[in-house]
Amino acid sequence: MTTDPSVPPDLPPPPASGKGMPPDPVGTPGEYLVKPESAVKFTRAAALWSALITGFVILIVLLVFIMQNTNSTTINFFGWEWNLPVGVAILLAAVCGGLLTVAVGTARIVQLRRAAKKNLKSQPF
């Protein structure tokens, strides 16, 4: 009979389990449960498909919103005047807000990169 050197002598040997079966949850502290081999792995393709499906659902909801809000309204901006459907006006306002957020975020990223390069150059090796 052979013994496993990794198993302390005071503990009974683990029971033989089928391949892919998780070990008994009652074990030594620090022992991790193994995922079964049949578990679905997270991949970039799965994330891409999830994002595409979510985007299409949001797009459909947005189109329904625009189609239900077709009453025309007057938009005044710095002396200019437009007549737009309410749904389109709200969509344009949201897009402009998103672009403003992207611009501010980009400026902050550039600022942080410059500071990181400056700190990297000032450190002696």
> In the predicted model, what is the mean pLDDT of residues 2-17?
63
The number of distinct structural domains making up the chain is 1
Whole-Å CA distances, 65 to 6, 45, 86:
64, 30, 10
Question: 19 pLDDT exceeds 70?
Answer: no
pLDDT bucket at 54, cuts 50 / 70 / 90:
very high
Question: What are the structure tokens assigned to 97, written together?
Answer: 């807000």
Question: 57 pLDDT exceeds 70?
Answer: yes
In a domain, 9, yes or no: no
Question: 20 pLDDT exceeds 70?
Answer: no
Task: Find the domain containing 59 and state its range.
Answer: 46-121
In a domain, 69, yes or no: yes
Q: What is the pTM of this model?
A: 0.49
Task: Judge whether 38 and 20 are in contact, CB under 8 Å.
Answer: yes
